[in-house]
Amino acid sequence: MNFSPEIFLRNLAQTTDSPYLIPIEHAEGIFLWGPDGKRYIDLISGIGVSNIGHRHPRVVQAIKDQLDKHLHVMVYGEYIQSAPNLLAKKLADLLPKNLDCSYFVNSGTEANEGALKLAKRFTGRTEIISCRKSYHGSTHGSMSVSGNESKKMAFRPLLPDVRFIDFNVIEDLKNITERTACVIMETIQGDAGVRVPSKEYMKGVRDRCDRTGAVLILDEIQCGMGRTGSLFAFQQYDIVPDILTVAKAFGGGLPIGAFISSHEKMKCLTHDPMLGHITTFGGNPVCCASALATLQVIEDEKLIDQVEGKGKLFEKYLRHERIKAIRRIGLLFAIDFESAELVSRIVEEGKKRGVICYWFLSHPYSFRIAPPLTITAEQIEESCNLILQAIENA
């Protein structure tokens, strides 16, 4: 084993000047362990990935079973393989009937790239409308429709014909017109600090897209897979998107994403041109087996039924005079403090005490909590006590 920080900092490309730098030897459930035996409570689920905990035994077994059969055998869309078939059928059974066709990719940003292409191809239009303060990924197209301007300036020019509106502002919906190919939005804005829209707004978005012929893409990469108290957050708003994008927790710890739509819409990627969208590793059978097992765990263990009660427990215990506000839906929290500097100190103090929280890129004076849905009441109380100690000593 090699946990050298020198190799990490020199030979692995870095994303910031101040990485978290915790060496991790193994993980199980809500816990991570370093090579020195130090235990950490993972309250961010690897940024929204480990919704059913690390190394859930059913997921591990599904991966092992598929490993004994085959790994990659062909690019996406050519061979019939059991694992992608089973996963696609499971999603079709769980989702509304106009979301019956899945295209499996490798990540969330790829899912959004595919969704944008599909919307433009299906409508023949070019304008894309997104929301300010949104986050949809870091590849060029996904970055183009993300709202954090400071993250985009160094990489311009980006995708043309992108317009931005304010999230949860009904008056802005008039900007969706007959020249709009699609509206892409997070059902719950995550990186903006957990911004929850009104039902009136979401119904207004759906209605405006229907009247103008624009395709509605809902990005549930962070808020899906039970995180908000339903399998997908849109199910709480009595609307259905034309395209749904998922990733992060979808794979149970392995890299997989999907854009999901109707068979009718997906068909247009097969001609004029052929291979309108293609991926070598999309639909990888091991990742699909892991994703299927993850969906089955959420369903069989009735994890969604427990989300709201666990969320309220966090609110009960997390009371401190330095907390300015808490925004929550299900087990997704943004906790506001007076400054980004204070948040940074709290996160560092939490790390010393063995509890991992984190900040938001676009909302640095909040820190995020998004624990595995499997966390117990006793573990919630322990976690909150450690967070309160961190706040007190920051």
Q: What is the mean pLDDT of the chain?
A: 97
* Statement to judge: residues 150 and 281 lie in one domain: yes
Please check whether residue 40 lies inside any domain of the structure: no
Low-confidence ranges of the chain (pLDDT < 70): none
* Statement to judge: residues 106 and 187 lie in one domain: yes
User: Into how many domains does the chain fold?
Assistant: 2
Query: Mind listing the pLDDT tens digit for each residue in 149-175?
Result: 989 999 999 999 999 999 999 999 999
* Statement to judge: residues 151 and 263 lie in one domain: yes
* Statement to judge: residues 216 and 307 lie in one domain: no
pLDDT at 240: 98
pLDDT at 361: 81
Domain with 93 in it: what CATH number? 3.40.640.10
Q: What residues contact 132, with CB distance under 8 A and at least 6 apart?
A: 147, 164, 165, 166, 167
pLDDT at 182: 98
pLDDT at 362: 85
* Statement to judge: residues 219 and 310 lie in one domain: no
* Statement to judge: residues 357 and 240 lie in one domain: no
In 234-337, beta strands by DSSP E: 243-246, 257-261, 325-329, 332-336
* Statement to judge: residues 291 and 309 lie in one domain: no
Domain with 335 in it: what CATH number? 3.90.1150.10
pLDDT at 369: 97
Q: Which residues of 330-365 are buried (b: 16+ CB within 10 A; e: fewer)?
A: bbbbbbbbeeeeebbbbbebbbeebbbbbbbebbeb
* Statement to judge: residues 287 and 335 lie in one domain: no
Query: Mind listing the pLDDT tens digit for each residue in 356-380?
Result: 999 888 889 999 999 999 999 999 9
- How long a stretch of residues is the chain? 394
Q: Of 273, 300, 327, which residue sits at a domain end?
A: 300
Domain that holds residue 317: 302-371+390-394
Q: What percent of the chain has pLDDT over 70?
A: 100
Q: Of 300, 328, 343, which residue sits at a domain end?
A: 300
pLDDT at 42: 98
* Statement to judge: residues 283 and 334 lie in one domain: no
Q: What residues contact 120, with CB distance under 8 A and at least 6 apart?
A: 126, 128, 181, 182
Query: Rounded to whole angstroms, how far apart are CA atoms 149 and 131?
Result: 12
* Statement to judge: residues 69 and 206 lie in one domain: yes
